[in-house]
Structure 1
Amino acid sequence: MTAPEAQAPVLIVDDDPSMRAALRQWMGLADFTPIEAAGAQEAIGKISSSFPGCVVSDVMLQGEDGVSLMRRIGEIDAEIPVILITGHGDVPMAVEAMRNGAYDFVEKPFDPENMAEIVRRAVEKRALVLENRALTRRLEDGSSLESRLLGNSPAMRALRDRILHFASTDAAVLITGETGTGKEVVAQALHDFGSRKDGPFVAINAAALPETMVEAELFGHEAGAFTGADRMRQGRIEAADGGVLFLDEIVSMPMSLQPKLLRVLQEKQVDRIGGRKPVRVDIRIVSAANVDPREAVAARTLREDLLFRLNTIEITIPPLRDRGSDCLVLFDTFVNRFTAQYGLDRPETSARDEAFLQTYGWPGNVRELRNAAERFVLNAGVGRQPLEMLVTGNGAAHEIGEGDTLRAIMDNYERNIIASALRRHDGRIAAVMEELGVPRRTLNEKMTRLGLSRPKAGLTAAED
């Protein structure tokens, strides 16, 4: 069981002590924290808008029934999942309850393992709701680091801690990470949360300028230095005096200019093109690369001595595929933003969409995810397409139809999650168990039921 739902509280509401005892035992074995109430009024006293779990209630209660209880819980917080159980097989009641906001409807007798799975999904959803609310509160304070670098995965919390720790220094920082991970956002944060926040932040992308322009852009020039230089122009390095100079795509800087940049870092002064004397500058250098800078040194596209000057501190941004459920939080946040921006109704994600969010590799990282959220919002009103289709152009043949059951939808979701974990870990069951938080027997049963097998190539008994 993963961190958000482990030990989550489950409020069990039933006027039958034996049923409460059975549910308490089953929920405890499933690693939840059971809380009991014999009736609706007692249950309401245990609920608040910050309740982090879900409610499992019998429909037929003495006095107020479970459907009425669900409505009262909805008045406290409409996003608390309520799972209703009944022994009467009342299909119309089930349909009506689902329309009125019930998370799920289960008939007695039910399979304890199936009930535990329903509860697990409910508390996962609740954890995401509370996480999004906390994130929204932080986003309202635009000065917070969380509002710029979204996500609550351990990798992102560690990244924010490193940024805040190093922001107060003047040491050179090299930011590495794949395309779309947010390297300029990190660079801007190092400026805004550091001692130079009142100074300028000057960014230049070495890969975006023609080689003939890079020198003039960086170092500036005197009037008459070359044809067309009719007046003195200050370079980006001078413009950053007292603040931070951000050099993106540093490995794309022409080799001929790298010694001159190295001298700036060593001497704290810049030579304009055509200038007679150097100009003193007080800057902090932050650079970024989307490839391994050591490989660039080996390929002779980056000077080793310049790399030593640039990476006094090295900060690596994790790719989105290594950030767990952050993709769900990010996508939800982006959807909310684009919904407000375009004045459209907010589209809801399906189980299949959520499965795709967590299993797709996102090679374009956060930038690609943001684009996907914008397309998702804009396309919702002109024929609902699965997110997979919008992002990859594939998957239309596997669309979940209106007649598919919840079990079929969730089987598809679990199949994608487990298959993705198996691929990431080359079929090593122990590693998959650790990532997904499930015991071996449960994982084996799910793999058998879902028709999954692990890759055999390259595995040894010791690796299993």
Structure 2
Amino acid sequence: MDAVRILVIDDDQAHREGMVLLLEDEGYQVDEADGAEAAMELINQHQYNLIITDYKMQNIDGMELLKMINDHDPLLKVIMVTGYSSIEHAVEAIHLGALDYIPKPVDPVKLKKVVSRAISVPSMGHEPSAEVGRVPAKYIHFDEIIGKSRVIKNVVKKISQIANIDVPVLVFGESGTGKELVARAIHNASNRAEATFVAVNTGAISKELIISELFGHEKGAFTGAVLSKKGKFEEADNGTLFLDEISTMSEQVQIALLRVLENQQIERVGSNRTIPVNVRVVAATNENLETLISDGKFREDLFYRLNVYYIELPPLRERKEDILLIADYFIERFNAEFGKNIKSIDDDAAVLLENYLWLGNVRELRNIILRAMVSAKDTIKKKDLPDTLIKG
């Protein structure tokens, strides 16, 4: 196994050399640079597993360097060393493109822990099965998020960056773009991964039942409540709760959710007893919440509580280079699930798939591939696709 190679960047020689010695003692191969220009020269010459850079440097600071690194390779892992230790400044560093952060003065134990965690973040390159020949040798496959486009690489990088910073996340995207997949990926890459992931589509639950569904109820709390029941917050204790379609929440539910985010406590319907919960919330919407705030339909204070970190999912039509990769992924998956042996998509069918608008996004692509595989023999052809694709 090749040695892990790390680049340490700091214009303070004593501070830089101290980190280098600590990391070398851990068995890492470490290079060093005293500024952004020297760092980029080394990055262009070598393959690094991890970059550690100071936030405050003369000439070109850490923020500008992060932009340069992202332009060079958006998947390169970067840890920011910052003079701030609050969650707010940690999130700011993450927004700049860092995978994690270390507060100053650097604690040796903290440095070793953060570096070890960063190195162990799952690789985002995937070597696919040779059975589906159209897929290139390397592409992004993080949980079930797949693609080679820059926009999806940036989404995956954001997931990796925020996973272990225990704050709420707001995911925006059209229906079918994979918002729940993003929430699951955040959970699976976080320190909460061993606990429960609970998903709730708040738009699919009646206004009369949503409070009980989220917060639970006691026996006799309302007609039909013959037993006490835990809500989704209690089910997700120590784990992650994914709330989809939050724009549909009533004022009453929004107030209750805000209270939980502020206090980490819930009350079941029919009870005044508070129950402590330790839950990370990932919320999602396909509507512009700021517009809803202006229209008086969504609480501004709740928006700011949820929007600590923001991830926007692009529609499939804006990442056409990913369409065939995702299609091939579904072929592999359905081959295994249903005992099929579809090898590929022919060129005519591929052109139709790439040029279709995909208003239903990845969910629509999944359904069309599944339908095509029913009639296809060993190759999906134009005749296996629905008329909606053929007619454009």
Provide the TM-score with structure 2 as the length reference.
Answer: 0.62
Residue 339 of structure 2: aligned partner: 343
Work out the CA distance in 2 between the residues paired with 1:359 and 1:321. 8
Does 2:300 correspond to 1:304? yes
Change (3 A) 1:275 1:354: same
Residue 202 of structure 2: aligned partner: 206
Code of the aligned partner of 2:210: V
Q: Secondary structure at the match of 2:176?
A: coil
Pairs within 5 Å for 1:27-66:
none
Work out the CA distance in 1 between the residues paired with 2:383 and 2:149. 23
Q: CA RMSD in A?
A: 2.6
Work out the CA distance in 2 between the residues paired with 1:384 and 1:241. 45
Report which of the two structures shows the higher radius of gyration computed on alpha carbons. 1
Change (3 A) 1:175 1:388: farther
Q: Secondary structure at the match of 1:212?
A: coil
Q: Which runs of 5+ in 2 are unaligned?
A: 1-129
Q: Secondary structure at the match of 1:230?
A: coil
User: Does the Cα contact within 8 Å between 1:388 and 1:394 map onto a contact in 2?
Assistant: no
Code of the aligned partner of 2:320: G
Residue 267 of structure 1: aligned partner: 263
Code of the aligned partner of 2:342: R
Code of the aligned partner of 2:388: T
Work out the CA distance in 2 between the residues paired with 1:303 and 1:177. 20
Work out the CA distance in 2 between the residues paired with 1:246 and 1:345. 35
Residue 373 of structure 1 and its aligned partner are, at CA, apart by: 1.1
Does 2:214 correspond to 1:224? no
User: Does the Cα contact within 8 Å between 1:222 and 1:232 map onto a contact in 2?
Assistant: yes
Does 2:132 correspond to 1:152? no
Work out the CA distance in 2 between the residues paired with 1:249 and 1:197. 23
User: Does the Cα contact within 8 Å between 1:258 and 1:303 map onto a contact in 2?
Assistant: yes
Change (3 A) 1:265 1:355: same
User: Does the Cα contact within 8 Å between 1:199 and 1:243 map onto a contact in 2?
Assistant: yes
User: Does the Cα contact within 8 Å between 1:379 and 1:385 map onto a contact in 2?
Assistant: no
Residue 180 of structure 2: aligned partner: 184
Structure having the larger proportion of residues in helix: 1
Code of the aligned partner of 1:287: A
Residue 241 of structure 2: aligned partner: 245
Q: Which runs of 5+ in 1 are unaligned?
A: 1-125, 139-144, 396-415, 417-464
User: Does the Cα contact within 8 Å between 2:172 and 2:312 map onto a contact in 1?
Assistant: yes
Number of aligned residue pairs: 262
User: Does the Cα contact within 8 Å between 1:356 and 1:388 map onto a contact in 2?
Assistant: no
Residue 295 of structure 1 and its aligned partner are, at CA, apart by: 2.2
User: Does the Cα contact within 8 Å between 1:356 and 1:387 map onto a contact in 2?
Assistant: no
Residue 279 of structure 1 and its aligned partner are, at CA, apart by: 1.2
RCO comparison, higher one (Cα < 8 Å, 6+): 2
Change (3 A) 1:147 1:306: closer
Pairs within 5 Å for 1:239-388:
239-346=235-342, 348-381=344-377, 386=382
Change (3 A) 1:194 1:157: same
User: Does the Cα contact within 8 Å between 2:177 and 2:363 map onto a contact in 1?
Assistant: yes
User: Does the Cα contact within 8 Å between 1:219 and 1:235 map onto a contact in 2?
Assistant: yes
Change (3 A) 1:231 1:351: closer
The Cα offsets for residues 327-375 of structure 1, whole Å up to 9 and x where unpaired, read as 0111122223323433334264333222222221111111111111112
The Cα offsets for residues 396-455 of structure 1, whole Å up to 9 and x where unpaired, read as xxxxxxxxxxxxxxxxxxxx9xxxxxxxxxxxxxxxxxxxxxxxxxxxxxxxxxxxxxxx
Work out the CA distance in 2 between the residues paired with 1:212 and 1:226. 11
Q: Percent identity?
A: 37
Q: Secondary structure at the match of 1:285?
A: strand
Provide the TM-score with structure 1 as the length reference.
Answer: 0.52
